[in-house]
Chains A and B, each alone.
Chain A
Amino acid sequence: MKAKKALTGKALEKEAIFWSGLKKMLERIPARSCRK
């Protein structure tokens, strides 16, 4: 496998939006997800 580039710019912003939003919800209600 070749070396992969670090996440930067817009991608990093999108990542932060996703995890911050998820974190807020998880603090409110514990999640149960599909594992199958």
Chain B
Amino acid sequence: MKQLKELKAARAAARSDFFIQWHLTGKCNLRCRHCYQSGKISSQPGADELSLPEIRKAAEETRDALADWAKTYGIEFSPSFNLTGGEPFLRGDLFYIISELKDLGFEINLLTNGTLVNREKAERLRSLGVKAVQVSLEGPEEIHDRIRGKGSFAEAARGARSLAEAGLKCTLNITLSKLNAAYMADIIAIAKGLGVARVGFSRLVPAGRGLSLMAEMLAPEEIKVLYEMLLNLDAPGLEVITGDPLSSLIGPGEDSDLGCTAFGGCAAGVSGLTFLPDGTITPCRRLHIPIGNIRTDSIREVWATSAVLDSLRDRKSYAGKCAGCERWALCRGCRAIAYAYTAAKGKPDFLAEDPQCFSHLNSKSSLFN
């Protein structure tokens, strides 16, 4: 049987992340105002979720695909599963799932709202070898509860503290919008108080319930100021991270156009896939365009032949300033935000320009150029 260690045996100079964002359940105990999932998905009680044997089989197929790619193309992969929901702790078999996936050699990260985490569960996650846990936190108590529901701050904070005290690498993740942008200093202070290792941030996607918050999306200039501040923050003992492609715009520009091969930035079509609770495969967890189903379709076939993935990799397919940007290969903006934003305007286009891109604001006068 193929083992993940084969991936490293490829001894290649080229290294690539490859992750599966796995929504194990659509069930959630919160009804956050900004959630990019629809209320319908979240309220379906366990409908047609992949069973534990199906999850194992899909994970084995992922492992085999990665092993084949590593061996055939000489790329060293860092494969991981990011497990989430809905709320993943509402899957009664969550610990069994983690154990199965760990047995297959994958790095496991967990994304949770934190409200159902206690010390015992945190210890169990640690003993299973979970690498990191992300807890969503939107600001100080009043702001958080306004977005995620009354009482949720206290529960999430308790969960995050339990994770940190159990020795797990815990990240507080903020979804940035006008609702909480003014509270970054409070969040840093909360993170330090809870003893977590990292603060992460992402942007509001105006889809699902988040569609009603379109007016709360930050303007490009606001995003630029926030990112420059956050990514240059001097907070000893606290790491500030983001996966936002636009973060690649902070810092010096490129000497020349990096070309037409996508290899960094947005992971859609390049370094990851998402599995939904019923096995539906999408390019990204926030980009709800079905490209297959893990129950019936082969990962390698989907990866190689999906027209949606093809267009995500094709610079000529892009519209607006993303198409002409010298950092296209390293960024491409957030395809999910582009899609949700254009859909809200009545013309859905996942290849449209990222409406919050601030590249046009980068100039010699910028703090970090």
Contacts and interface: CB of A to CB of B under 8 A. Distances in A.
B304 A23 contact: no
A25 B57 contact: no
Tell me if A's interface is mostly helix, strand, loop or mixed: helix
Interface in B256-301: 258-259, 261-268, 270-272, 284, 294-298, 300-301
Contacts of A19: 69, 72-73, 75
B200 interface: yes
B304 A7 contact: yes
Contacts of A12: 304
B154 interface: no
B264 A15 contact: no
Given A1-B295, A5-B298, A18 B267 contact: no
B14 A23 contact: yes
B313 A31 contact: no
Contacts of B1: none
Closest 4 CB pairs between A and B? A31-B264, A25-B263, A26-B14, A19-B73
B243 A25 contact: no
7 contacts: A1-B296, A7-B300, A11-B304, A16-B72, A23-B74, A35-B21, A36-B202
Given A4-B301, A35-B243, A27 B14 contact: yes
B73 A23 contact: yes
Nearest to B200: A36
